[in-house]
Structure 1
Amino acid sequence: MSAGQSNTPFGEPSSSQSAPLSTNIHGDHSGNTGSNNTTNSGNTTNYNYCNHVPMNSPENYTEIVQCLYTSRYEEHRNRIRKPVEGTCNWVTKHPRYKDWLDNNTSGLLWLSADPGCGKSVTASFLVKHLECQTDAIICYFFFKDDNDEQKSATFALCAILHQLFARRNSLCRYAEKAFKDKAKRFTEEVDTLWSILVKAVSEGGCEDVICVVDALDECEEVTRAPLLGHLASLSESQNPDVRLKLLVTSRPYHSIEREFGPRTMTIRLKGEDETDSVTADVTRVIDEGINNLEEYWRRPGGLGYLRDLLISSADRTFIWVSLVLDILKDSEDDSPEEFTNIVSTAANGLAELYTKILDKSKHPDKARRILTIVVAAARPLTLREMNVAFKFRRDRKTIKDLRDLPPGFEKTVKNLCGHFVRIIDSKIYLVHQTAREFLLASSSPGRGNWQYTLYHKDSNYALADICISYLSLEEFEDDPLAMDTYGNINKNAVRDYRQKYAFLDYAAQHWADNFRDSEAQQMELFESTRLICRAGSQRLWAWLQIYWSNTNQQYLCPRDWTHLMIASWFGQRAVIERLLGEGDDINARSDRFGTILNITAVRRDNNTTRMLLEKNARAYINGKEYNILQVKRSVGYHILYQWVT
């Protein structure tokens, strides 16, 4: 930004335009930002982008890599279980894998397999294997649909570019033009990010680049479609100048198979057909599991009778084996009769096993509340956050009587939900993607008390209600989070505030997501949102600053937003129409953001923008008001026009 240029989306003059621009990256949820630990081949290198710019890097290297750090991709990979010794090697020995790896041109290898057959473990294994066995730059991303950071193809490409630029700083120059033209918005476009990746690899003079992308089927549809097109085109071109190889894993879905079809040169390794290899790996997992059980129960050599029973029942499904072994470990009775009964009654498949696990809960209503929150959460909740969400009720006015995380709450969660959930680094996850699919309503009728009994919109409504009620607490009006005179947010203050109020980080960042995904039910919460969105209230500033500090916005947090402007920012069309119907000013102006027409255009909410245009909403560009439908050409008009037409 040049000297004297306004720090606003549309060049609006601002009383605080001399304030320094604060740029944040997504850090951990304690508020730590500005550094990232990137692991390659087991060596951890600290890249502190705020304090050190590597040699031969573009001038704006720091800003670009900060924009690209949109997800904690290393942490997400660390969720994956480590493979048992000797497993996954069959992939590296397979002729199709060797053909893909040894080919001197660009290429795509698609490793497909059925649910629960170890795709993610294999992908993580291959990242390490490729780092050790090749001289290529290895980048990776693991999709998961239980976390907003792991759902989008833009996040995947950002993570890959972040790893690539960390290894070869000079390649960052291929992102400079997009950054100068679009600022951080270039990170929101699949086509732009893909183009940067291909150019950096083909023109940057670096060695081979190999990207491992896991669970492509869990990528959201809106960004998966363009990514699939680019992956197919790379495979089709077989360009020797693009030294880029990709290995993707997914379930064998027809929608993916259609894109990687006969017209491309995609190499497909069908894990679902490699029955002998997968069975051998399952057997290795069972053997290690039995050895661990024998050590745990102090019965060396005494549990071999379980081996054949487990192998015959596993149906090549690693998650089934893992769950049964965990249940055997936690059994109160280690008699052969009890162990045989556990394995035999679990032999009817994952659905029966999941039902059996949840039916054991002594408090099914409490277990259901936890699972409702887990499936609706935009990211995995910590134990401390779950403690608040689990206990919170709408009628609370103050947080004083809500105890902090009690000793043993992890045990409480496990007692309620059993092995249906996993707790990793104090965060709560469902045990597997199939567990989520087991719970959420389907077109097919469920069996028992749990299968297909949770509805997406109902779960989101429940969590939105918790979030909005939490943000309405008196503490956030009486104990505000302060900004400085320029409207900047002090990172230490944010960190301390988050620590003080355990559920604030999630509620501030994601209440609007859960509100949106409540679908038609959302307006039942409309009156509750008035309190947290009232212009000038301390409750509004408390959550909005927490939200703003973690969204990597290049503009300062607004201090003059109304409820109508907030609804416009979050795309709450029903709320916008309700507020306009109550007489709110459609052309009210924010100092930095203009009118709600400006805001919906910036957010690229085309449907709402068109609705506002039909209501003769006006826009502010460079400090001037325009009825955009009556203007053929104006200063800055084309900037707005490209978003609203």
Structure 2
Amino acid sequence: MDPLSIIASTIAVVQAISSTYKAIQHLRGLPNEFNEVNRNLPLAQDTLGLARDQLQGLALDESSKKALQPLVSGCEEKAKMLQDIFEKVEKGVKSAKDGSVLDFYRASLLRLGKAQRVETLMQGILRGLDALATNRLFKTATQSQMAQLKEAIDQLSNVESSVPDTDFDSSVTQNIASLGNRPPVFQSNEDYKTRSDILQALHTSPYLDRKYRNPDRVPGTCKWFVDHDHFQQWRESKSSSMLWVSANPGCGKSVLAKYLVGSELQTTKSRTTSYFFFKDDFEDQRSATSALSCILHQLFTQREILFSDKIVKRFEAYKGHLTSSFDELWDVLVLASQDKNAGELVCILDAFDECEDQERDKLAQALRKFYGTENDTKNNINSKFLVTSRPYDKISRRFQPLNIPGLPVIHLKGESDAEISKITREIDVYIEDRVSLIRANRDLTPDEEQLLLQRLRRVPNQTYLWVYLVLQLIEKDLSIDKTTICEVTSSLPRTVDDAYERILPKNNSQDAEEAKKAKKAKKILHIIVAAARPLTLAEMDLALALQQEHTSYEGWHRKPEERFGSYIRDLCGLFITITDSKIYLLHQTAKEFLIAKDDPDPRGGHDNPLKWKSSLQPPVSHRILCQICIWHLLFTEFETNPLDENSDDKVSHYLRDHVFLDYSATNWAAHFRASGIEDDAVIESVRRICDASSRSCRTWFRVYWANTDTGFPQGFTTLMIASYFGLEQIVRLQLGVDDVDSRDGTYQQRI
């Protein structure tokens, strides 16, 4: 085939891979590598599209075709291999009677070889596209993609494979070959499955994805920290020690943590680095227990020798769900650190202040005990924690007992005057970098660039977040002359709150169109701040379209994701970001800006110029999302075409065909409790949802139960469901109907 046909074929294959990923993305235990591949598919498709568009306007001679042939053919070949693996995983997991996604993927790889790892194939595709981008025929068309391609290639090089090199040893491979389609051997089939099950259970959160949500540092920044004596002392220490780094919001703590993981403190032969980025917008990212699970998962996949028989037996002996016990996981971490092969263990915990209060207290107490005076265990090992947080008193008080001379605990205060001065100088480096990009994008003259820099530097108390917001606003409106630069910069927002207010449509506008936009934006923001997890674009599309009169999916006309993403960006501006088709608030401070506090802002009231600040009452937000969930769960499809009760494997496929059900089934009751709704009509709708005799109830309840990792209860009643979810109004209604002495079909507990 000619290069143009091969490129067209490769685009079709990439699109097929994306479709297959959507079918398997909900599978529990899907290795992170698959998510990383999906993250890079749009870049690959865009680059191929640019190359195709350029080729269509050229008349290539034979020598040019021969030069391009190996480049495009290599990309197509690897894309087809990638598609084959994705489809095998989908079909294999669907047909398997037992085993996990990781089991099947690992078994497939050990037969195919390490070159068939999905991240390796994706990296090969991107390398081919990078070579294509540098070809003289495509340089004009794909120049803008080259930086992204190089960055993606570098990131894929650092992907932590779920199937390490040690698994490809010849002895293991020979065992695999002799077993045919049986599970791969680690030491024995049973031993391998046990270890695989433990690792799968420990992978409670896609920690790699969550790390990459944070931007990379600008060269010349983060030096205030890595050059600091406290950090140098902590890093060079040969014994256990803890470093607590506090700094104000917007000062780049998460960017710093990401930089440390990938550069200054990356895993080496003698050091194993694990990490967890706490984040308020995911339930699993607010949990210290989940953090420990992910740290152990990283530890055991990077240093397999530490995943000892002793630790395996400890997990097996624990009768509860092994990832639900903070104390058990902490003890396992300490046990692993005592292994003679452990070396230096580094755990980086970012945004500790965004951890849920009770969970944070548990972890703080464990750290206090471990690094305290009465614990001699730490003296014989090299286990280090680096914790970043805001300088909150509630955290300082938890670590206060460690603030004793002689203890191996250091507090580096990024909010102190000396460090703020250093951070401010680095923020200036960041400003220069961003302004240089604006100069390149808008063709500013050197004088115009210097004028913009001078005007920005006049504003005191800058943060990285403020600079990002302000420059986005400037780049959006800026015309190319000194007069307009002066006009735009003469009314810069002075604080992050001011910038947030300017980003959103005017909440009290007399302009009818602006007021309409503000109303729509407010509903979107209500949903985002109340949601238990970030919604996908498709879920948000349905949530916004849904009204009480809708009774099925038939009335919903799903919008193309790209168009809908542009629509909500137009309404909410920089306040939101969209990553991997999921909608997030830009920053934790954005949520804090919007939500009304128990202690109202002293500037509040009708005279408050910040009309969006503290404008969202949490009960109202939960009420909006609760009503959406209830209307959705009453769809007739769930009664007329319910989920097959005889197959847990079909849950993921049913969810794929029923947008928003995963969210509504799992979270509606929590929103109902938080909303304080007492309306009789809503209560009646809730009673219908909980009607255990209906097929729609059994459908959403089975979806909910699929996330509990326990057997589906049999013989449950409406009263049992209402009691389980704490729905007091429904319990009171049912007490006159059901036997109050009913017992749970699974645990035989009295209601």
| Length-normalised TM-score, structure 2 | 0.70
Shift of the alpha carbon at 1:527? 1.9
Answering whether residue 469 of structure 2 is matched by residue 323 of structure 1, we say yes
Check conservation: 1:107, 1:265, Cα contact below 8 A.
yes
Shift of 1:308: 2.4
Q: Which amino acid counterpart does residue 413 of structure 1 have in structure 2? A: I
User: What is the aligned length?
Assistant: 567
Q: Distance in 2 between matches of 1:100 and 1:523?
A: 60
Which of 655, 661, 664 is the equivalent residue of 1:504?
A: 661
Q: Measure how far apart 1:96 and its partner are.
A: 0.3
Q: CA deviation at 1:462?
A: 1.2
1:349 counterpart = 2:495: yes
Q: Match for residue 540 of structure 1?
A: 697
Q: Distance in 2 between matches of 1:178 and 1:458?
A: 46
Helix, strand or coil at the partner of 2:218: coil
Match of 1:444 in 2: 600
Instruction: Indicate yes or no: 2:542 matched with 1:388.
Output: yes
Amino acid at match of 2:600: S
Give the superposition deviation at 1:61. 1.0
Aligned to 1:112: 246
Question: 1:255 maps to which residue?
Answer: 394
Letter in 2 for 1:270: K
Q: Distance in 2 between matches of 1:582 and 1:521?
A: 19
The one-letter amino acid paired with 2:434 is G
Of 294, 297, 302, which residue of structure 2 is paired with 1:159?
Answer: 294
Note the C-alpha offset of 1:375: 0.1
The code of the aligned residue for 2:732 comes to R
Give the CA deviation at 1:160.
0.5
Paired residue type of 1:467: C
- The residue number in structure 2 matching 1:188 is 324
Q: 1:45 aligns with which of 161, 179, 189?
A: 161
State the structure with bigger RCO (CA 8 A, min sep 6), 1 or 2: 1
Cα distance change on mapping 1:220 and 1:300 into 2, 3 Å = same
* 1:223 partner amino acid: E
Cα offset for 1:464?
Answer: 1.3
Specify the alignment match of 2:722 in structure 1. 567
In the alignment, the residues of structure 2 paired with residue 278 and residue 55 of structure 1 have an alpha-carbon distance, to the nearest angstrom, of: 52
Counting only pairs closer than 5 Å after superposition, residues 460-479 of structure 1 correspond to structure 2 as 460-479=622-641
1:241 corresponding residue in structure 2: 380
Distance change >3 Å, CA 515–CA 204, structure 1 → 2: farther
1:55-70 equivalence runs, <5 A: 60-70=194-204
The whole-number CA distance in structure 2 between the counterparts of 1:540 and 1:27 is 32
Partner residue in 2 for 1:34: 101
4+ aligned runs moved over 4 Å, structure 1: 23-33, 36-41, 48-59, 519-524
1:98-497 mapped onto 2 (5 Å cutoff): 98-129=232-263, 130-131=265-266, 135-172=270-307, 173=309, 175-183=311-319, 185-203=321-339, 205-236=341-372, 237=375, 239-261=378-400, 262-263=403-404, 264-273=407-416, 274-301=419-446, 302-313=448-459, 315-331=461-477, 333-360=479-506, 362=514, 363-406=517-560, 408-442=563-597, 443-445=599-601, 446=604, 447=608, 448-484=610-646, 488-490=647-649, 493-497=650-654
SS in 2 for 1:60: helix
CA separation in 2, counterparts of 1:368 and 1:174? 54
CA–CA separation in structure 2 for the residues paired with 1:95 and 1:524: 64
Tell me by how many angstroms 1:512 deviates. Answer: 2.2
CA gap of 1:473–1:577, structure 2 versus 1, over 3 A, is closer
For 1:366 and 1:523, the matched residues in 2 are separated by 27
Offset at 1:480? 1.2
CA–CA distance in structure 1, aligned partners of residues 476 and 185 of structure 2: 51
Alpha-carbon distance change, 194 to 58 in structure 1, aligned in 2, over 3 angstroms: farther
SS at match of 2:384: strand
Closer, same or farther in 2 for the Cα pair 1:180/1:520, shift >3 Å?
farther
Cα displacement (A) at 1:299: 2.4
Which residue in the other structure is 2:127 paired with?
none
Report the residue type matching 2:575 in the other structure.
Answer: F
1:149 and 1:222 map into 2 onto residues whose CA distance is 14
Between 1:286-295 and 1:186-195, the stretch displaced more is 186-195
SS of residue paired to 2:553: coil
Q: Return 5+ residue gaps in structure 1 as ranges.
A: 1-22, 598-616, 618-645
CA displacement at 1:483 relative to structure 2: 2.9
- Cα RMSD over matched residues? 2.9
Structure having the larger proportion of residues in helix: 2
Per-residue deviation, residues 110-133 of structure 1 (Å, max 9, x unmatched): 010001111111111111121167
**Following superposition of structure 1 onto structure 2, how do residues 531-610 of structure 1 map, counting pairs within 5 Å?**
531-551=688-708, 553=709, 555-570=710-725, 572=726, 574-575=728-729, 577-579=731-733, 581-595=735-749, 597=750
Per-residue deviation, residues 322-341 of structure 1 (Å, max 9, x unmatched):
11111222226444344434
Q: Is the 8 A contact 2:470 2:493 kept in 1?
A: no
* Whole-angstrom distance in 2 between the partners of 1:265 and 1:506: 44
CA distance in 2, matches of 1:308, 1:174: 62
Letter in 1 for 2:415: E
Q: CA deviation at 1:153?
A: 0.7
Structure 2: runs of 5 or more not aligned: 1-26, 39-89, 94-99, 106-117, 120-154, 168-181, 508-513
Q: CA deviation at 1:560?
A: 2.9
Report how far residue 378 of structure 1 moved.
0.6
Helix, strand or coil for the counterpart of 1:423?
Answer: strand
Structure 1 residue 425: deviation in Å? 1.6
Identical amino acids, percent of aligned pairs? 34
The answer (yes or no) to whether the contact 1:385–1:502 under 8 Å persists in 2 is yes
SS across alignment from 2:644? coil
1:477: how far off? Answer: 0.9
Per the alignment, residue 625 of structure 1 pairs with none
Whether contact under 8 Å (2:577, 2:586) holds in the other structure is: yes
Q: Give the whole-Å Cα distance in 2 for the aligned partners of 1:200 and 1:58.
A: 19
Pick closer, same or farther for the CA change 1:133–1:65 going to 2, 3 Å.
closer
Letter in 2 for 1:34: V
In 1, the alpha carbon distance for the partners of 2:286 and 2:697 equals 28
- Structure 1 residue 528 and structure 2 residue 663: aligned? no
- Residues 402 and 332 of structure 1, relative CA distance in 2, 3 Å threshold: farther
